[in-house]
Structure 1
C-alpha cells in the first residue's frame, strides 16, 4: 500500500513538472509568435507609409515639370503617382482591418488620419484630373491650399502611425509582463506542490523503512525464540544427558573424559546460541530501558577489555519507542566493537541526551581514526558506517562523523 502511494506521489511530481513545462513553453511560443506578427505588421505599416510619401513627392515633382515643360508624359506621371499612393493607402487599411483588437484607442485615431490622408490625396488627384492645369502656367491658390493641407494631414498621419506602433509595442510588453508574472506564480505553486509531494514521498519512504525495520525486528524476535525454544533446548538436553552419563561412567575414565568434553562443547554451543539470540533480539531491553541497558553494556565492555568506556545520560529524560531503543543499542554495540577491533582505542565515551525535543547520541574514542575520503573513495565499509547511517536516516535522523588519521573518531546521532 505504501509502495503504491510512493509511486502515485512520483507520478504527481512528474505531472506537475510536465504541466508547468507545457505552460511555460506555450507562453514562450505565444510571446515569440505575437512579437513576430506585431513586428511584421509595423514594418509593413512604416514601409507603405514611406511609399505613400514618396509617391506624393514624386507627384509634386511631376506636377512642377508639367507646369514648366507642358509635357503630357509628366501629366500622366502625376496621375500615376497619386494612384500608387492611393493603392498603398488601401493596403494600409487592409492591414488595420486585420488587427482591429490591437491598441484600440490608437487604432481608431490612426484609422481616422489614414482616411483623411486618403481623402486628401483623392482631392489632389481630382483637381489634377479636372484638366484645368493643362492651360495654366502655375499652381493656383486652390491647388496650393490642397497640397499644403495634404502635407499637414500627412504629418498628423505619421504621428498617429508612430503612436499606434508605440501603443502596440507597449501592449505587447504588458502582455509579456503579465505572462511572466503568471509563469512565476505557477512556478511558485509548482515548487510548493513539488515540495509537499516530495515531503510526502520522503515520509512514505521513511514509513517503508520503518515498516521494514519493524518486520525485521519481528522476524529477529521470531528467529530468536525459535533458536531459544528449539536449538537452545536441544543443546541444554545434550548437556544434561552428558552430565548424567558422566556420573554413570565415573569408573571408566576415558569414557568419562569424552563425556566431559561433550558437556563442554554443548555449553559452548549453548553460549554461542545465546549470543546469537541476544544479537537478534537483545533480551536486556525486555527487562531494562535504554539507559540501564547501555549502562550495563558499558560495564560489560569495561570488565572484559582494557578499553575504559564512560557512559553519561544525565541530560536524558523521557522515553522512546522499542524499535528506536533496539536500534540505538545495536549502534552503540557496533561502535564499541569498532573501537576495540579496528581503532585500537583505550578510551571511549557515550553521551545520551535530549535537547529541544531531539534525542542526541554522541560517541567518541581516542583510537587511530582513518581517512574518510579514502574510505568513501574505495567503498570500504568494513566498519558498517553506512549501515548505521541508513538505520538513523530511516527514522528521520541525522549523522555527523568526524575522524582523521591519528585523531580518533567522533559520531553524533540526532533524531526526533
Structure 2
C-alpha cells in the first residue's frame, strides 16, 4: 500500500512543481514583455518629445527669421524709398510755394528730383529682387542659382565656381525658393563671417535625392561648438532644410573653411 501511495504522491508533487514552474515562467515572460514594451513606449515617447522640441525650435527659428526679414525690408523701405521720396516731396513743395525761384534754380531742382526718383526706382527694384528674384519665377531654380553665383563672382570679393544640374520643376515653387534662400544664406555667411575668397556650389541629383554641396575657404569653425555658434543665419538654413524634409551635415575646422552637404 505504501509503495503505490508514495508513487502517487511523487507524481502529484512533480505535476504541481511543473505547473508552478510553468506559471512562474509564464509570469516571467509576461513581466519581461511588459517591461520591454514599457521601455519601447518610453523610448518612442522620448523620440517624439525630441522631434516635437526640434519642430518647436525650427518653428521659432523660422518666426525669428521672418521677423528679421520684415525688419530688414522695413529698414530698406525707410532708407531707400521713404527718405528719397521725402526729398522729392520737399523739392516739389519748394517749387510750388516759393515765388522768387529763378529758371536756373528751377532746372536744377527738377534735375535733382529726376535723379532722386531714378535712384528710388532702382532701389525699389533691388528690394523686389531680394524678396523674389524674377529669374526664379520665370526660368526656375537652376537659372536662379547660376545668376546668384555670377552676382557674387562679379562683386570681385569672392570667386564662385558652380555645377548646377537641376531638372526643371522637380521641386515646387515654394521648395525652389527654400533652396535658393539656403544657397544665398550660405554665400552671405561665407563673405560676412567666413571672409572667404573661394566658394564652390554644386546642386545635382543623387539617385532619388537632390544633393546640394557647398564649400568655402574661409576661417571655418569648430563643429563641436556649432550649437553655441548658431546664429540667425544657420538657424534659418536649418529651418528651411527641415521644411524640405532634408538633412544637413557640416564639416569644418578653424582656418580650414567650411563644407556643407544638404540632402533633399
Residues 145, 164 of structure 2: 8 Å contact kept:
no
Residues 370, 405 of structure 1: 8 Å contact kept:
yes
Among 293, 304, 309, the residue aligned to 2:160: 309
Paired position in structure 2 for 1:171: 22
Q: CA deviation at 1:382?
A: 3.7
2:130 alignment partner, SS class = helix
Q: Encode CA deviations 1:298-321: one digit per residue, 9 max, x unaligned.
A: 11222223311112124x334221
Asked if 1:251 corresponds to 2:100, the answer is: no
Question: How has the CA–CA distance of structure 1 residues 381 and 175 changed in structure 2, closer, same or farther, with 3 Å as cutoff?
Answer: closer
Question: How has the CA–CA distance of structure 1 residues 312 and 263 changed in structure 2, closer, same or farther, with 3 Å as cutoff?
Answer: same
Question: How has the CA–CA distance of structure 1 residues 414 and 252 changed in structure 2, closer, same or farther, with 3 Å as cutoff?
Answer: same
Paired position in structure 1 for 2:207: 356
Q: Encode CA deviations 1:97-139: one digit per residue, 9 max, x unaligned.
A: xxxxxxxxxxxxxxxxxxxxxxxxxxxxxxxxxxxxxxxxxxx
Residues 282, 326 of structure 1: 8 Å contact kept:
no
Q: CA deviation at 1:392?
A: 0.6
Among 184, 192, 205, the residue aligned to 1:341: 192
Asked if 1:414 corresponds to 2:263, the answer is: yes
Question: How has the CA–CA distance of structure 1 residues 405 and 262 changed in structure 2, closer, same or farther, with 3 Å as cutoff?
Answer: farther
1:252 alignment partner, SS class = helix
**Distance in 1 (alpha carbons) for counterparts of 2:102 and 2:261:** 59
Asked if 1:279 corresponds to 2:133, the answer is: no
Please show how residues 9-48 of structure 1 align to structure 2 within 5 Å.
none
How large is the Cα RMSD of the aligned pairs? Answer: 4.2
Question: How has the CA–CA distance of structure 1 residues 318 and 354 changed in structure 2, closer, same or farther, with 3 Å as cutoff?
Answer: farther
Q: Encode CA deviations 1:18-72: one digit per residue, 9 max, x unaligned.
A: xxxxxxxxxxxxxxxxxxxxxxxxxxxxxxxxxxxxxxxxxxxxxxxxxxxxxxx
2:218 alignment partner, SS class = coil
Among 153, 159, 174, the residue aligned to 1:323: 174
For structure 2, which runs of at least 5 residues remain unmatched after alignment? Answer: 96-100
Paired position in structure 2 for 1:396: 245
Paired position in structure 2 for 1:332: 183
Q: CA deviation at 1:332?
A: 1.3
Q: Which has the higher contact order (CA 8 A, sep 6+)?
A: 2
**Greater mean deviation of Cα atoms: 172-181 or 332-341:** 172-181
**Distance in 2 (alpha carbons) for counterparts of 1:169 and 1:277:** 81
**Distance in 2 (alpha carbons) for counterparts of 1:178 and 1:339:** 59
More strand by share: 2
Question: How has the CA–CA distance of structure 1 residues 383 and 341 changed in structure 2, closer, same or farther, with 3 Å as cutoff?
Answer: farther
Asked if 1:298 corresponds to 2:149, the answer is: yes
Q: Encode CA deviations 1:314-336: one digit per residue, 9 max, x unaligned.
A: 4x334221111111111111211
Report the structure number with the largest CA radius of gyration: 1
Residues 358, 414 of structure 1: 8 Å contact kept:
yes
**Distance in 1 (alpha carbons) for counterparts of 2:221 and 2:117:** 41
Q: Give the structure-2-normalised TM-score.
A: 0.69
Residues 338, 383 of structure 1: 8 Å contact kept:
no
**Distance in 1 (alpha carbons) for counterparts of 2:180 and 2:8:** 89
For structure 1, which runs of at least 5 residues remain unmatched after alignment? Answer: 1-148
**Distance in 2 (alpha carbons) for counterparts of 1:152 and 1:263:** 127
Q: Give the structure-1-normalised TM-score.
A: 0.46
**Distance in 2 (alpha carbons) for counterparts of 1:332 and 1:250:** 53
Q: Encode CA deviations 1:272-299: one digit per residue, 9 max, x unaligned.
A: 3333222222222122211111111211
1:367 alignment partner, SS class = coil
Paired position in structure 1 for 2:139: 288
Paired position in structure 2 for 1:162: 13
**Distance in 2 (alpha carbons) for counterparts of 1:361 and 1:177:** 53
**Distance in 1 (alpha carbons) for counterparts of 2:249 and 2:30:** 45
More helix by share: 1
Paired position in structure 1 for 2:254: 405
